[in-house]
C-alpha cells in the first residue's frame, strides 16, 4: 500500500493471474489489487472499474478514464471509523491516556506529564481542521459536540461550502497560528504532498497538538520530528508513517510527546461491509445508466 501511495500503481506489477481473466470483463471490482496500464490494456471490454477503498492509489485512474472506463470507489467506507479514531487520538495525546497506560504496564504510577499546562478541556480549545471532505466534516461535527471552536481550511471546498456547514473558514496561516489542535484530512496529491513542513510547524502555537490520521505524505516527517524534539509544539498523535511497519528503533518512538498507532484509524469490523455496500450502490447506478 505504501508503495502505491508514494509512487503510484505503475510502480508495481499487476497480478498476472488476474490479467489472464479480464479480457472479456465489462466490470472489474478490486480491493488492493494493482490496476495499472498493463491490466487496463488487457481488459479490452472494461466499462466500469470499482475500487473498494477510500482512495484509488492502487489504480491508474487517469489512464482508465482515457480509455473511457468509469471509475468508482468506496469513498466513505471508513469515514466514521477515522473520525471516531481522530477524536480518540486527540483525547489520548492531550490527556496522556496511552503513555500513562504504558507507565502502568512498567509498574510506574505517573500522574504528571510535561504537557500538563497545555492539556485544556476540549470545550476551551480552538480546533483547526485542514481538509473538509467527508472525514473532515465528521471530525468537525464530533468535536463541535464537545463545545470546541472549529475553524476550517480547504481550498478545494471553498469558503461558501464551509459556511454552509456552519463552520468558520480561515486561511491556512490563520489556522496554524490560532489552533490549539490541528487535524489534517486532505487527500494526498502532488499539490498537497508535504504541505505541512518546517514553515508550518514554526507558525503553530507552542501549546498546539498536531494530529495526522490521513496520509503520511501530507507531512514532512523530518520537520515533524524536529518540532516535537525541540518542543516547538506540545505534542502530536500520528497513525501514518513514511515507512510501515514502523521500525522498532524509529526516532519518533523515542519521543515522549507523541502518541503513535500502526495505521489503524480506518479499521473497524464495519469497514469491509461498508466497502461492499457502497460499491454495490455504484454498480446498481451504473447498470441503471445513472
Which are the catalytic amino acids? 215, 244, 263
| CA atoms in the 13 A half-sphere facing the CB of 27 | 12
Beta bridge mates, 29: 50
What cell does 269 get? 469490523
Residue 128 grid coordinates: 483547526
E strands present in 102-176 = 126-130, 149-153, 168-169
Per the CB < 8 A criterion, the answer to whether 278 and 255 are in contact is no
The sheet with strand 48-51 has its strands ordered as 27-30, 48-51, 70-73
Q: Which three cell numbers stand for residue 97?
A: 491516556
Query: 83, 30, 90, 29: which is closest to 270 by C-alpha?
Result: 83
Block residue for cell numbers 469558503: 159
CB 86 within 8 A of CB 211: yes
On the question of a cis peptide bond just before residue 245, with omega within 30 degrees of 0, the verdict is: yes
Q: Which of 151, 138, 158 is nearest to 77 (CA)?
A: 138
Q: Residue 128 phi/psi, 5° resolution? A: -100, 125
Computed on alpha carbons and rounded to an integer, the radius of gyration of the chain in Å comes to: 21
Amino acid at each position: 500500500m505504501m508503495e502505491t501511495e508514494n509512487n503510484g500503481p505503475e510502480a508495481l506489477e499487476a497480478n498476472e493471474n488476474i490479467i489472464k481473466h479480464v479480457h472479456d470483463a465489462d466490470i472489474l471490482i478490486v480491493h488492493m489489487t494493482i490496476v495499472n496500464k498493463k491490466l487496463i490494456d488487457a481488459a479490452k471490454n472494461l466499462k466500469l472499474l470499482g475500487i473498494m477503498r477510500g482512495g484509488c492509489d492502487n489504480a491508474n485512474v487517469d489512464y482508465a478514464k482515457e480509455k473511457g472506463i468509469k471509475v468508482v470507489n468506496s469513498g466513505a467506507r471508513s469515514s466514521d471509523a477515522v473520525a471516531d479514531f481522530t477524536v480518540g487520538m486527540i483525547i489520548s495525546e492531550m490527556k496522556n491516556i496511552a503513555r500513562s497506560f504504558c507507565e502502568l504496564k512498567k509498574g510506574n504510577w505517573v500522574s504528571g506529564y510535561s504537557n500538563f499546562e497545555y492539556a485544556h478541556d476540549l470545550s476551551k480549545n480552538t480546533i483547526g481542521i485542514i481538509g473538509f471532505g467527508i472525514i473532515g466534516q465528521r471530525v468537525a461535527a464530533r468535536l463541535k459536540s464537545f463545545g470546541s471552536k472549529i475553524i476550517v481550511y480547504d481550498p478545494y471546498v471553498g469558503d461558501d461550502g464551509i459556511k454552509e456547514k456552519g463552520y468558520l473558514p480561515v486561511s491556512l496561516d490563520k489556522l496554524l497560528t490560532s489552533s490549539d489542535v490541528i487535524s489534517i484530512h486532505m487527500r494526498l496529491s502532488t499539490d498537497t504532498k508535504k504541505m505541512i513542513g518546517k514553515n508550518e510547524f514554526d507558525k503553530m502555537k507552542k501549546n498546539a497538538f498536531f494530529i495526522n490520521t490521513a496520509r503520511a505524505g501530507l507531512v514532512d516527517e523530518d520537520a515533524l520530528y524536529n518540532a516535537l524534539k525541540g518542543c516547538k509544539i506540545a505534542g502530536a498523535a500520528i497513525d501514518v508513517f513514511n515507512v510501515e511497519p514502523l521500525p522498532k528503533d524509529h526516532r519518533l518512538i523515542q519521543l515522549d510527546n507523541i502518541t503513535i498507532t500502526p495505521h489503524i484509524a480506518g479499521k473497524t469490523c464495519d469497514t469491509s461491509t461498508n466497502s461492499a455496500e457502497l460499491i454495490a450502490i455504484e454498480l446498481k447506478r451504473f447498470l441503471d445508466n445513472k
